[in-house]
Structure 1
Amino acid sequence: MKYSKATNYALHTMLYLAITTPEKHVGVHQLAERQEVSTTYLSKILTKLVKAGMVESISGANGGYKLRPGWESISFLDIIQAIEGPTALFDYCINHDPECLIQKVIFSAEEKMLNELKHQKIVDIAKQMKVAP
């Protein structure tokens, strides 16, 4: 199991927006430069976050991206699913038998991980970091 680079950039972008200026718009160039990624690539990621209702965008010279009101409730799982979609994290037992003991272990592990990601909020991590614009 491995998340895409896009998910990694999305998590870091959301954290950066949370620790710097959650009320102010930040340009895509600044966000991309911060993570050393192309603006085109990051724009695609930000589009997914906008569609998921986590970020808002304003076009124009003073535009950019900022966290939507209520962002404090956004979890790691919310961000991961905005980028990856609500897919299973593991491939399951090859014989698809619901009584497969291996599949039961995988289901249990996935459920625990999803629960952990659901309870980890970006705001909690942001509180642990110092503002470093």
Structure 2
Amino acid sequence: MQYSVGVEYALHCLVYLIDAPSNESIGIKDLAEFQGLSETFLSKVFSKLSKANIVISVPGVKGGYRLSKPPEDISFWDVIEAVEGPKPIFQCKNIKDNGYLYREGCCSAPSSCTINLVMLSAEKQMRDYLRKKTLAWLNEELDRDLSKQVREETRKYFSKSNK
């Protein structure tokens, strides 16, 4: 299982939107430039985040994006599902139905495949864990892990008053 780099880009960029005043937005160009990312690719990621109601697009020359709800209401799983889509990680193909005994009809297949049940349970546990990790939690972790200077310089970079 592997999530696309779009998930990482999205999570990093969403953290920068947390401190934006509610009447301001941050442009894709600034977000892409700050992280050394492709503006085109990041636009596609933010289009998905917008469709999932994680961000709001603000049109105009000074437009951009801002969070659509408080950071404590946006989980890692919300972002993953927005960027990757809702498909399950494990996709059972019911290959047991092609097995010799089932083909010949001498055994009745169990109603649920044990392998599928284990994989679905593991996915559920992962989703539940990622739903508990929010942008607010991530922001607090970054406050602990990064120097105060780095956090302040990042906020200044995205401040409209410095542009």
Q: Same fold (TM over 0.5)?
A: yes
2:20 is aligned with what amino acid?
Answer: T
Aligned position for 1:8: 8
Query: What SS is found at the alignment partner of 1:123?
Result: helix
Quote how far apart the aligned CAs of 1:59 are.
2.0
Aligned position for 2:137: 124
Q: How does 1:42-61 map to 2 (within 5 A)?
A: 42-61=42-61
Q: How does 1:1-133 map to 2 (within 5 A)?
A: 1-18=1-18, 20-21=19-20, 23=22, 24-92=24-92, 95=95, 99-130=112-143, 131=151, 132-133=154-155
Runs of 4+ in 1 over 6 A off after TM superposition: none
Higher relative contact order (CA 8 A, sep 6+): 1
2:139 is aligned with what amino acid?
Answer: A
1:73/1:93 CA distance change after superposition, 3 Å: same
CA contact (8 A) 2:71 2:134 kept: no
Q: Percent identity?
A: 39
Quote how far apart the aligned CAs of 1:93 are.
6.0
Query: What SS is found at the alignment partner of 1:129?
Result: helix
Question: Larger C-alpha radius of gyration, 1 or 2?
Answer: 2
Q: In 2, Cα distance between the equivalents of 1:96 and 1:84?
A: 29
Q: In 1, Cα distance between the equivalents of 2:81 and 2:21?
A: 21
- What TM-score do you get using the length of structure 2 for normalisation? 0.72
Q: Please, which runs of 5 or more residues in structure 2 have no aligned partner?
A: 98-110, 144-150, 156-163
* More helix as a share of residues: 2
- What TM-score do you get using the length of structure 1 for normalisation? 0.86
Q: Please, which runs of 5 or more residues in structure 1 have no aligned partner?
A: none
Quote how far apart the aligned CAs of 1:17 are.
1.5
Q: In 2, Cα distance between the equivalents of 1:15 and 1:33?
A: 15
Q: Deviations over 1:53-103 (max 9, x none)?
A: 111121222211111233420111111111111110123365266543322
